[in-house]
Amino acid sequence: MIDPHWELVDLDPLTWRQIGRFFDPGQYLRAAQPGEHGLFILHERGRMLRVVDSQTGVRRDITLDVLDNPQEYARLLYARGEWQRVHVIDKAHLALVARVAQETPQDDRTLDEYYHQVYQLLWGNTHSYVSVPAHPRHWHGWTYEQINHWLSTLPFSPASLALGVFGDNHWLIGLILVCEHGQIRKVTTFEALDAATLAHGIAPETLAALSQQLEETFAPPVGLLLCTQDVFTAWLEQEEKMPVLLTARQQNQAHWLSLSSVQ
């Protein structure tokens, strides 16, 4: 899903292949993780409706007449050690989340604002959707507020950002973003650049050439990152981001430029 507020100038298939997975908004909302063995208890204001084990299916042996303490029930079930996560979900809460998120059309709202509201509604009431272990309230260390704050405090507007993730002979991701007033407004790829810009691969020379091209073609650059795919994956997934980049730079596997304080 691509934000209609973006001007999508170009997105080469290679880059799209690599970044497509980030456009699944569910991953930023859900507590359940892919492959995780979970127990899901659906109730409606305390009346049990259905219990499903993600590996074995419907569980009729787990039942209560009235579920009056979802947090405690989830904790007790999790303590049995059968599941990696126990979810106790009030159906009425899911209905409320859907209704509130959609009751007033707001065409000026960006997609990330919309899904952030869904996230806040879903997890705002701690008794309506209980997850044990709890939802971490971040995605691999990233939070909406952190990224939003960073974008809204860039030193220039418009400003450009670039991400180059390199494979053996070519970039796998070559993404250029132009931001204005805290919002991404234009999305294009390294195909918009002179081929010579990237001739040195992951190197300070590339950083300098890219920076100059962005300045001349789009907007003053405020954040550039060039790295290998392994470094990119580690940077995304590890909660402490800077140590990943610092180690990678020593090994000539990452170089970056940042005129803003959060990385």
Partner 1 sequence: MRRMPDVLILLNFDLGRYAALASSLHFAHTDLYGFPRELFQVELDLHLRWANAYEADEHLCDNWLGTVIGRLEARSIDYDLSDTHLDLARLSRYPLVCVPTVDFMDAADQARLLTYAERGGQLIIGPGLPYLDPTLSPCEVLQEHISAPGRTEVGAGTIWWITQEDVPATVDALANPGEYSCDDCQMQLVCQTNNQCTLLFIANSTARQRSTVIRFPGMRRLRAAWGETGMRSGEGEIVVKLEPYSVQIWEVVA
Q: Where along the sequence are the contacts to partner 1 (CB under 8 A)?
A: 13, 16-17, 25-26, 29-34, 38, 40, 42, 49-50, 52, 54, 57-58, 87, 89, 91, 94-95, 97-98, 101-102, 118, 122
Looking at the Cβ atoms of 50 and 149, the one nearer to partner 1 is 50
Which CB atom, from 125 or from 263, has the smaller least distance to partner 1?
Answer: 125
CB of 42 to partner 1, least distance (A): 6
| Minimum CB–partner distance for residue 215 and partner 1 (Å) | 31
Q: C-beta of 32: minimal distance to partner 1 in Å?
A: 3
Minimum separation from the CB atom of position 235 to partner 1 (A): 21
Exposure on the CB side of residue 256, measured as CA atoms within 13 A: 30
What is the spatial distance between Cα 82 and Cα 78, in angstroms, rounded to a whole number?
A: 7
Of 14 and 208, which has the nearer Cβ to partner 1?
Answer: 14
User: β-strand 85-90 against 129-132: which pairing, if any?
Assistant: antiparallel
Whether residue 28 contacts residue 143, with contact meaning beta carbons closer than 8 Å, is answered with no
Name the minimum Å distance from CB 161 to partner 1. Answer: 25
Q: How far is the CB of 95 from partner 1 (least distance, A)?
A: 5
Give how far the C-alpha of residue 111 lies from the chain's centroid of Cα atoms, to the nearest Å: 13
Contact 42, 35 (CB under 8 A): no
Judged by CB, which is closer to partner 1: 52, or 203?
52
Give the Å distances, CA to CA, from 236 to 22, 111, 241. 11, 21, 8
If the CB atoms of residues 88 and 207 are measured against partner 1, the closer one turns out to be: 88
Say whether the peptide bond before residue 220 is cis (omega within 30 degrees of 0): no
- Interacting residues of 196 by C-beta distance below 8 A, sequence separation 6+: 209
Nearer to partner 1, 16 or 251 (CB): 16
8 A C-beta contact, residue 114 and residue 4: no
Virtual torsion, Cα 240, 242, 243, 249, nearest 10 deg: 150
Q: Which is nearer to partner 1, 118 or 163 (CB)?
A: 118
Q: Across the strands, what pairs with 88? A: 41, 130
Q: How far is the CB of 103 from partner 1 (least distance, A)?
A: 11
